[in-house]
């Protein structure tokens, strides 16, 4: 790999790493132990290392230089292969290529956490077990709009529904179709409608996101039986998933396209976003925002609020509007809880 193809920033990153003092306790790769720089794709990020795939499909477990904590699945990196394996690790990641985009979420300890990079489509997986939550779908949609990444809403486990129940959930999802989101009802268990899903996956890199237990890894196994991803039953007591998948992983699909399985998130807050970003995250508000009587309208009890009028006229779905206020309220609550935690 020609060094001149690295940006100045990346070269500086590498220089800094080489000049850093090497702690006696912690092992560090020395320059003479490593081969040429080469490009690779991060297919899994673990706590202390990452699995990097070469353009020919070989996967090497790599350490990360200490300045590079924020390496995630989907990242394109520059790395070097060691002359020999050390403590089960084959090489080291030296620098990160610029990202096309990043999927983020707030984290109580690290502030903002990047979950994945270079994503072309976010597939929001929901299910009827755990109970279907439109509020969680709306949270993810705000993230998709903020990052400007197209979304697909998938409802899994429809094999558990009677005909009447199917009609009821389809009616619930119709409000998303109305505002231009694609939705898909399917079953990883019976394979129903899995062919439809294939069509959405053929290009670019997609990621499954959603609560624990909705069946993200089960869908991976349906699409790629040889993968044999670990799945875990939804708890009979709490009705919640058991957080079976612990690290995101990128897979290549036979018909083209990449698919990332991600771990379900316990608490998916939006306090890393500004209130304005949440408002902008509701695509059906566009064109109406800015036409309220008062410029600082909070769209609650304010007189002549154009959004509320649009709800009354049926132009904005009442459930979405209610969720919008719930998102803003829970954002405020978690922000103050975070300050409390930081202070004590
Ligand atoms: N009835 C039914 N059960 C399903 C279906 N898909 C998945 N399940 C079950 O749902 C449970 C959870 O599935 P997982 O694939 O582990 O869920 P996950 O979303 O990957 O969960 P995390 O890895 O914890 O985030 C397992 O017991 C699966 O067998 C489906 O289409 N129908
Ligand atoms: Mg899983
Ligand atoms: Zn208003």
202-256 tens-digit pLDDT:
999 999 999 999 999 999 999 999 999 999 999 988 888 999 999 999 999 999 9
Name which residue sits closest to atom 22 of ligand 1, judged by CA: 212
145-172 tens-digit pLDDT:
999 999 999 999 999 999 999 999 999 9
Which atom in ligand 1 lies closest to the alpha carbon of residue 211? 25
Average pLDDT over residues 53-74: 94
Rounded Cα gap, residues 126 and 214, in angstroms:
6
Which ligand gives the minimal distance to the CA of 303? Answer: 3
- Range list of H helices, the chain: 8-19, 134-147, 163-178, 194-201, 216-223, 275-280, 306-312, 318-343
Using left for φ > 0, alpha for ψ between -120 and 50, and beta otherwise, residue 61 falls in beta
Tell me whether strands 151-156 and 89-96 are parallel, antiparallel or unpaired: unpaired
230 C-alpha to ligand 2 centroid (Å): 7
Name which residue sits closest to atom 16 of ligand 1, judged by CA: 231
Rounded Cα gap, residues 332 and 275, in angstroms:
9
Average pLDDT over residues 95-119: 89
Residue 25 is predicted with a pLDDT of: 47
Q: How many CB atoms lie within 10 A of CB 93?
A: 22
Which ligand gives the minimal distance to the CA of 321? Answer: 3
Specify whether the CB–CB gap between 39 and 52 falls below 8 A.
no
294 C-alpha to ligand 3 centroid (Å): 7
Specify whether the CB–CB gap between 88 and 131 falls below 8 A.
no
Three-state DSSP class for 59? Answer: strand
Residue 271 is predicted with a pLDDT of: 84
Mean pLDDT for all residues in the chain: 91
Rounded Cα gap, residues 226 and 94, in angstroms:
32
Residue 78 has pLDDT above 80, yes or no: yes
Ordered DSSP codes for 73-139? BT-EEEEEEEEEEETTEEEEEEEEPPPS-EEEEEETTTEEEEEEES-SEEEEEEESSSPP-HHHHHH
Burial of 193 (0-12, 13-18, 19+ CB in 10 A): middle
């Amino acid at each position: 790999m020609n060094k001149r193809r690295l940006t100045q920033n990346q070269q500086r990153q590498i220089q800094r790493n080489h000049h850093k003092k090497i702690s006696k306790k912690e092992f560090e790769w020395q320059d003479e132990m490593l081969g040429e720089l080469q490009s690779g794709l991060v297919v899994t990020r673990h706590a202390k290392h990452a699995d990097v795939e070469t353009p020919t499909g070989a996967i090497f477990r790599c350490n990360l230089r200490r300045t590079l904590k924020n390496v995630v699945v989907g990242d394109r990196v520059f790395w070097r292969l060691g002359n020999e394996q050390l403590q089960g690790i084959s090489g080291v990641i030296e620098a990160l290529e610029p990202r096309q985009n990043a999927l983020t979420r707030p984290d109580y300890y690290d502030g903002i956490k990047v979950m994945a990079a270079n994503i072309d489509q976010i597939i929001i997986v929901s299910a009827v077990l755990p109970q279907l939550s439109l509020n969680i779908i709306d949270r993810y949609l705000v993230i998709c709009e903020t990052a400007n990444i197209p979304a697909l809403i998938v409802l899994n486990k429809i094999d558990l529904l009677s005909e009447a129940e199917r009609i009821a959930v389809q009616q619930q999802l119709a409000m998303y179709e109305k505002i231009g989101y694609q939705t898909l009802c399917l079953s990883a268990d019976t394979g129903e409608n899995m062919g439809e899903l294939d069509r959405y996956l053929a290009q670019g890199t997609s990621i499954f996101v959603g609560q624990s237990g909705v069946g993200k890894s089960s869908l991976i196994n349906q699409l790629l039986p040889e993968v044999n991803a670990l799945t875990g039953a939804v708890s009979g007591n709490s009705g919640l998933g058991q957080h079976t998948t612990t690290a995101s992983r990128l897979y290549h699909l036979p018909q083209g396209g990449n698919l990332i399985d991600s771990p379900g998130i316990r608490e998916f807050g939006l306090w890393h976003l500004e209130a304005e970003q949440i408002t902008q995250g509701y695509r059906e508000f566009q064109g109406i925002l800015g036409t309220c009587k008062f410029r600082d309208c909070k769209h609650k009890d304010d007189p002549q609020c154009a959004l509320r009028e649009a709800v009354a006229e049926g132009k904005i779905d009442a459930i979405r509007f209610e969720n919008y206020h719930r998102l803003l309220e829970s954002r405020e609550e978690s922000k103050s809880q975070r300050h409390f935690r930081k202070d004590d």
